[in-house]
Structure 1
């Protein structure tokens, strides 16, 4: 039977099940045979990762042609400007592609966000701020590259939502997983 699970992936965990010489893997958190990530979430990013045991469902979740929106909260170096937000909303010309326009806004520091282990590096002389970014593409390190391109490097990146599944709405603690409905993801 086809199933989907949502995992709140911690920082430093690589999005694969096979052993890795330097990082813990999904195997440390999900002990179910036949499940695979539906998309990627970089080792140095945290938050919502969907996994499934159905290849067709995996494609519908991960493939950009199905337009599953993904929302990220990025803690960036510096105080984000209106100009930077405007550029993100228009799309960014990166080296090998131009991103589609993103939904982008400055947000207050998220109160309900878990502590990262290890904490980000902070410099006393440089403030940080938070951006919410929603994209439908998901190219390699896209959000980090977009933020850096507009002059605000990411210090922390947390995926909070894929489709209609929000890590806070389903109250998913860091490092934990739960079954979710495919209809909730693919609405």
Structure 2
């Protein structure tokens, strides 16, 4: 009898812990990002190498303080892909990260497939938005756009514990 009680307590505790972990990973740490109308969607200009706001509408975004790569956003734009490719810095090796299932406007698999097929284009939003992290903007031919944070080359090296190469900016104090 005692074994059944102890077994039941272990199973109930495991279910509660599993439910708490699931909730914390998918809901608790994320906050909605409110559109400011100016800096929400930016792309880096080819000419100046500086980020500039692009035309957008229907912005939805989420972010979390627990990690610099949890940022995701969706928007629409009337800008054409040919015009954007002549204006903004392309982003090589863009790999969208999976968003929580409840943030349904951001489908990383669809975005990744469109980027691989050359249907969508990715641009540098802002280099080193956090040290070693770039903001990436991708746009589909139908005007749907997506934003996420991605670890850049310097971030991969430094986050692995190796010294930063000469071409990387110095790591900020306290990080």
* TM-score (norm. length: structure 2): 0.29
* TM-score (norm. length: structure 1): 0.28
Higher helix share: 2
Structure of larger gyration radius: 2
